[in-house]
Structure 1
Amino acid sequence: MPEADTTEDEKPKKASKLPLIIGLVLALAGGGGGFYATWSGMILGDGPETAEAEETLEIKPGPDVSYVDVDPLVISMRAPSNANHLMFRATLEVPALAQETVEKLLPRVIDVLNSYLRALEPRDLEDPAALTRLRAQMLRRVQVVAGADNIKDLLIMEFVLN
């Protein structure tokens, strides 16, 4: 019976918490070091030094362009359409040196746009991507009339089906 007394007094040893504490300290140190390296710009280069350099940069002027407004167009739609009219207004982006030339050709530009928009079927306008496609078609037609070097872009300001 003396053997029974000795087994009751012995308790199993608890696992040490030292590895857990060391792991936690190393994780915090690694996270802090990573944050500092990123914040200071050592890793990604977007730290305070580059922010200060951006503030001192001189703002350069944009490209030398002008804008020529196209007179608003009101197009009557064909019969199977839900809408009766299309109201269209655009602006042409042109190089500053070509502004006068494009302004002289504006009646021809309006004629080309008017002819193209009148030829559209109502189903051409139903597609969600229709405006992008129509814009590209109109830009190409205007560039043919006024010269590709004279027209940089066609900006649609108003496109309303009424």
Structure 2
Amino acid sequence: MSDTAARESAPVKRSRWPLAAGLVLALVCGTGGFFAVRGGLVPVLGNDAAGDAERPASRPLAEVAFVPLEPIVVSLANGRHLRFTGELEVAPAHSSQVERLRPRIMDVLNTYLRALDESDIESPGALVRLRAQMLRRLQLVTGEGRVRDLLVMEFVMT
């Protein structure tokens, strides 16, 4: 057997230098990161102490009134029922005006909810889409600027 054949068949020893260099580099970076966060050089999400100085002062809440809506039960095509209860968020100055329009509001909501299919209600983003549609209809009935938001208290299909 020749020397070249013996060298080719012998196992090749790999250098452990890259493994050792990687471990040392990881240790140095981990230590540096720890001291950077601990010293406050890097802000940490959710750390209230680091961000208190940068937060703007909270502003006072706007005056608001809520007008409760009567529960609505709607029959769907397959014999199931939808129960909806909500409240309207209005400015206190418009509260009595919106209260007087409650029969019209209930009519609009009843008409809209009865036109829905079960597939419209069961889709993943259905409640957000339906809420936006109902709010837009309520704003048309009550007049622009009177109803700020529609709060859904109950939306159950039985």
TM-score w.r.t. length of structure 2: 0.67
Q: Do the aligned partners of 1:39 and 1:48 also contact (CA within 8 Å) in 2? A: no
Question: Please, which of 106, 113, 124 is the counterpart of residue 110 of structure 1?
Answer: 106
Q: Do the aligned partners of 2:74 and 2:110 also contact (CA within 8 Å) in 1? A: yes
Q: Which residue of 2 aligns with 1:50?
A: 50
Q: Do the aligned partners of 1:41 and 1:48 also contact (CA within 8 Å) in 2? A: no
Segments of 5+ residues of structure 2 without an aligned counterpart are: 1-14
1:90 offset after TM fit, Å?
0.9
Question: Please, which of 144, 149, 161 is the counterpart of residue 145 of structure 2?
Answer: 149
Is 1:129 the counterpart of 2:125? The answer is yes
Alpha-carbon deviations, 1:52-80, whole Å to 9, x = none? 6489x8654333322221111122333xx
CA distance in 2, matches of 1:101, 1:48: 43
CA distance in 2, matches of 1:54, 1:136: 34
Q: Which residue of 1 aligns with 2:33?
A: 34
SS of the equivalent of 1:152 reads strand
CA distance in 2, matches of 1:41, 1:60: 28
Give the superposed CA RMSD. Answer: 3.3
1:137 offset after TM fit, Å?
1.5
Percentage of pairs with the same residue: 44
Is 1:98 the counterpart of 2:98? The answer is no
SS of the equivalent of 2:147 reads coil
Query: In 2 relative to 1, CA 98–41 (structure 1 residues): closer, same or farther, beyond 3 Å?
Result: farther
CA distance in 2, matches of 1:32, 1:136: 51
Q: Which residue of 1 aligns with 2:9?
A: none
1:136 offset after TM fit, Å?
1.8
Q: Do the aligned partners of 2:43 and 2:50 also contact (CA within 8 Å) in 1? A: no
Q: Do the aligned partners of 1:142 and 1:151 also contact (CA within 8 Å) in 2? A: yes
Segments of 5+ residues of structure 1 without an aligned counterpart are: 1-14
Is 1:64 the counterpart of 2:63? The answer is yes
Q: Which residue of 1 aligns with 2:83?
A: 87
Q: Do the aligned partners of 1:76 and 1:118 also contact (CA within 8 Å) in 2? A: yes
Q: What amino acid is aligned across from residue 117 of structure 1 in structure 2?
A: L
Alpha-carbon deviations, 1:130-155, whole Å to 9, x = none? 33322222111101011231112212
Q: Do the aligned partners of 2:75 and 2:114 also contact (CA within 8 Å) in 1? A: yes
CA distance in 1, matches of 2:105, 2:48: 51
Q: What amino acid is aligned across from residue 148 of structure 1 in structure 2?
A: E
Is 1:76 the counterpart of 2:72? The answer is no
